[in-house]
């Protein structure tokens, strides 16, 4: 997530709630843990957050201008956003769509600081 972020001020979701959304979407095992950590790094658990100057939405900060297959009006719905994240992950077989994951140029591995909370939530 880059650029300014805004939120409508509604409540943040816990790592446990995000883990359930991720499981409902199809993430399993260590991939589910990584997906939860990425969501926490991208949005801090706020499903209403907007980043990248208003072009990325929700828990996994789906960038709708890069991924027009997703309806931007629905990306703040937590389960829709989780389903979109799983579709992106499944189509590519990796998490490289998220700048908080990996060592690619412009990526920062910020998800790593959330792995403990994500692991505890998934394996509770």
Look up the pTM and report it: 0.91
State which H helix or E strand residue 57 sits in.
strand 56-57
Cα–Cα dist 108/102, whole Å: 6
Helix (H, G, I), strand (E, B) or coil at 31: helix
Pairing of strands 56-57, 62-63: antiparallel
State which H helix or E strand residue 118 sits in.
helix 115-122
Domain borders along the chain are 15-122
Question: Over its length of 124 residues, how does the chain's per-residue pLDDT go in tens digits?
Answer: 334 444 445 589 999 999 999 999 999 999 999 999 999 999 999 999 999 999 999 999 999 999 999 999 999 999 999 999 999 999 999 999 999 999 999 999 999 999 999 999 999 9
- For the record, the structure tokens of 29 come out as 């095992």
- For the record, the structure tokens of 100 come out as 């908080």
The vertex-66 CA angle with 81 and 122, nearest 5°, equals 30
């Amino acid at each position: 997530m880059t650029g300014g972020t805004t939120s409508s001020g509604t409540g943040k979701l816990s790592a446990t709630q995000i883990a359930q959304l991720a499981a409902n979407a199809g993430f399993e095992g260590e991939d589910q843990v990584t997906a939860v950590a990425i969501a926490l790094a991208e949005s801090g658990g706020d499903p209403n957050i907007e980043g990248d100057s208003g072009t990325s939405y929700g828990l996994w900060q789906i960038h709708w201008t890069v991924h027009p297959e997703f309806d931007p009006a629905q990306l703040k719905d937590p389960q829709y956003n989780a389903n979109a994240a799983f579709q992106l992950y499944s189509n590519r077989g990796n998490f490289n769509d998220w700048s908080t994951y990996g060592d690619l140029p412009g990526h920062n591995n910020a998800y790593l600081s959330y792995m403990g909370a994500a692991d505890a939530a998934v394996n509770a």
